[in-house]
Structure 1
Amino acid sequence: MNDDQPTGNPWIKSLLVWGGIFLALLMVVSMFGARTDVGTAVRYSDFRTKVAEGTVSEVQIGEDRIVGKYKNGDSFSTIPIPNDTTLPTLLQDNGVKYAGKAPEEPNLLLYILVQALPFMLILGVAFFALRQVQKGGGSGAMGFGKSKAKMLTERQGRVTFNDVAGIDEAREELEEIVEFLRDPQRFSKLGGQIPKGALLVGSPGTGKTLLARAIAGEAGVPFFTISGSDFVEMFVGVGASRVRDMFDQAKKNAPCIVFIDEIDAVGRHRGHGLGNSNDEREQTLNQLLVEMDGFEANEGIIIIAATNRPDVLDPALLRPGRFDRQVVVPIPDIEGREKILSVHMKKVPLAPDVNPRVIARGTPGFSGADLANLVNEAALLAARRNKRLVAMQEFEDAKDKVMMGAERRSMVMTEEEKKMTAYHEAGHAIVSVNEDASDPIHKATIIPRGRALGMVMRLPERDSYSYHRDKMHANLSVSMGGRVAEEIIFGYDKVSSGASSDIQYATGLARNMVTKWGMSDKLGPLQYEEQQEGYLGMGGSARLFASDETNKLIDTEIRGLVDGAHARATDILKTNEDKLHLLANALLEFETLTGDEIKELLDNGRIDRPETPRGPNKTAPVRGSAVPKSGKRYSGDASPQGV
């Protein structure tokens, strides 16, 4: 048994400690309350009156107190007046027995105990603190320098590579590491060495931590897990101490795997801080670099780290010998999404009409976490609707909720606001239908969802990994469609702020086209802007590399692209104004239309929809074909006045 390991039952130890504290408190109370019962306190004048009345039987006279008894047996006490020479005569005349009371001799043992009690308490606290410091694993109250790495033991809920889908290449890279741990001779006989580290790189939600858990479930060796933020403390040197302690633990359990989640918290570029603000983090990183590949070889210890921001990591951390492999965990494609959905759907009772392939086609850009959330939302919707099975309708509704936000049917909107929202969304849809490079419309709605009053959702027909110029121009035109529809129908003075997000999107896309992607004929194929502090090229701030004259030209080109998109949207909507009215009226009547229904409406002038109530409570009015409240079918000459 390890000498540092505590022996005995911890519960009994705790009971003994608290019992000792209770006895000490009891002793203190008994010492201060050790005086004998002196009875009821009375005034000295009342005492003399009682003596004169003959009700007192006996007394004991001390220097500072007189204690006595009445003839009925009750005790009393009083404080005498100094130098009262008449009291003995009064007692004798009334037949009261009296005697002197010797002063109490102090108890030497109790006196020593009272004086030593504070020092004993101080020594006890110090002993307890030292014991806590000696405990391993950083669990002690003073164990700042101990590693917080936890050994992962998943006896229940064990995750294996069978639970990982949609990221086959990343899985194969890590399966090889597991095979190396299981059978190192198979690789070493050909001169291969076990990798020292693997860095998992991917956007949030792609399954990096799930892969690490699968490695833990498959490896059959000790698996330590820790977060990058667990190393950094306010005290300088604590992080480096924790790194040393973590590797000491790993050496005792080698071969083993150490997983560091969010390593960018401790592995950022060194030297970027001002003054000494980053001394603690940089010392921690230096110690990590030395432990991973320094003079002392750490045989049998594999470091697996995860981050979604590889651009901020120090180059010394990324070199071979520390992280020999950088495993990219990408957003899954349609095949991967179908496999991921199949994994998560095993836990859900499905209706016969559920088709994972159809759901996968309608969820481009979804990560593994998004798909897991989608399945969970569908199951919750089915439970809310008191269904025994989760049907395709629940998955469609859950997809709309995840992509567009929850419906806010309780939001009160005036008829004028609904009408403007309907024409705004119809403008987006009409421009999208007439732009050949635009993605097909998935759904259009004027029901408020999330922070939007309405929305037109477009989905690509297949996974796309790059943008083309014609598609960018089409997206710019579609983003301007809502604003242009408001201008045409309601006039210049009635244009609303509803296009703010559209304008923001169009400005950002035009800026990227000009400054990053070289799609300006006047500026040429040059990069004028660099992304900073963003993960995988997304988010973060930007920095311009251009003169004042070039910046003016950049602004002119951006303005030209957006103005051109505005002009294209205006031309399309004025040419198709009858269809704009038709679609807006349909949105006011049905509130939500699918892409197929929009195509049917624009082709045939009507929609044939099954007469089924809307909503889980079945209290919404029944809608059949596209017949407005006036009783007339939609036609090409429908006007806003007819709504």
Structure 2
Amino acid sequence: MSYRSVSWRNSPPSLAVAVARCGIRNALRHFLRREDICYVAVLVVPEGTSDYYGRAVSTFIRDPVPVDQDCNETAVVMTLAEQTIEPRTIHDRLRHGRQVVVVTEKAESLPPEFLAGADLVRHVVTPTPAHLIAASRTAKVPGMTQEFAEFLSTQSFDIIAAVIRPTRPLLNSIRQLRRMAEKRLELPTLAEKPSALRLEDTHGYGEAKDWGLRLAEDISSWKRGEIAWEDVDRGALLCGPPGCGKTSYAKALAASCGVELVVASTGRWQAAGHLGDYLKAMRASFKQAQTKAPSILFLDEFDSVGSREAAVDSDNHDYKRQAVNALLECLDPSEGREGVVVVGATNDPSGIDSALLRPGRLEVRIDIPLPDAVSRVGILRQHLGGHVVDGDLGKFTQASRGWSGADIEKLVRDVRRLARRHRVPISESLVMKAMPARRLLSDDELRRVAVHEAGHAVVGTLLFPDSIRYVYVERDVPVNPVSRVVGAAVFQHATETAGTPEYYDNRIAMMLGGSAAEQLVFGERSDGAGGDPSSDLGLASDVATRMERCLGLGEVLSVEFGKGGRPLEYLRERDPHLRGLVDARLRAQFDRAVLMLGEHRACLDQVVRKLVTDGHVEGTEVRALLAEGVRNTASVRT
């Protein structure tokens, strides 16, 4: 069955592409008069517009796509932004083409011999108001006036494509663009004031604090000339949930290292304008950090840069590719970046291009967890400043389980406000009064949560005896919870040198132990095991997918790794057979967990009772209860 693309005439192009068509029609007018003519043309277009001009060329010579008798495409359009390209690559991509157009933002990115052999090398003129008026008819955008066209001729294609739509009145779009132009940020990078807080005085950063203090020692040694810059870490990626204090960490790190802090983000770079402006803003950040060296360049929302491997078929893939390539050049320039340490921050590292994390770039990944009980108290006292709160703040630590540093900082603002309003000193009771409203779980809710977490604890201890640390349930929860977590079984697994199918199946069974316990005790499961990629079922599905497709532990030896921000989910979406294999593996381990819990039902019930009564059971107690149950079972059999 043949496939024919839909003609642009039936689906009008965007205004930006229609404007680009005007320039293309003028540049290629001699070649467009005859459909059978063969040629190679190089069009040099303004910076940041290659994608639009490439699509515009395609509407002329690839609509529909012409092919030869061997199904090779004979009309070829190749777009280049800044990267150079090898002659061999050009030959491989263009060898079957009869009508070839290369769209580039820099002619020097092409090999000289290719330029010499081209039939046409031409710079495409910058769009004029007349082009915009003509393009508005092609794109079916009514209401274009000379005034509007003159204003739009000063805007980038990226902005025009984002704001101008046929379904929206043009006047409204123009008004919004003018407001954007007035508010557009001129300085995408900010130099931060020195922080009074040093890393030594912070709480809850764990491994990140250790790394930062080592970095401070190395930078001090480098300043004294005792070590070369090559012996200093070049960069790190901070990973953690929102509100865990990544920005505060960067400020404290710079203070401890005694260096300048320069802050930038993808959002600030993009606010500068189209792709060309975006890349200029990016380079300006690195140049500013180099000027202030020694310095720390903090790149917030680092995952927004994207990955060249994700969404390869999307319209903005070329944009992402050029952004990542430019950032790679900035992170690892040929002249080096002595005196500049780059620290990126992200909530989701899965969507970051792997090349950005290689040695010499952001070579160290540091996870910042949510603060534990001791750290939460330390953060509270830190934000309270000179105010002293008597007591161990036990009620606060219990009620703030799962809180981030940002949550505690907001609580302190509320506490101070209450103290000012009522003219009373800050106390533990005032802290608790400022806490968000909470409600007690009903007996049925508490028992179901206890059964679920006890199931994880028992199955996990049977399969990984030394890994369990403790299991807990919450008695009361926030009235408007951000998270559904009301309990957890906490394990600490030893690093496996070689994971066998049995090891991974055991992990799946442990993850499904909570649902299995609910099925055994109540005869049905609740939704507590699903609904989120980090849920029991979400994690178990990913482990099963890795076994089947990534690790060679399933029915095939060939491997796939997926792509995008959720590569394992991508594999499952496109492969119904894989989904069946994953589901079968999960069901087998679920049934296995139910059977294990049935054999140790007495232990399960004891853990449940302790959780309902005390809210917390240590791992040693779980192991002791299981050992006692095994001994009792053996004596009965004897």
Please, what TM-score do these two structures have when normalized by structure 1? 0.49
Higher-Rg structure is 1
Structure of greater relative contact order (alpha carbons < 8 Å, 6+ residues apart): 2
TM-score, normalised via structure 2 length: 0.49
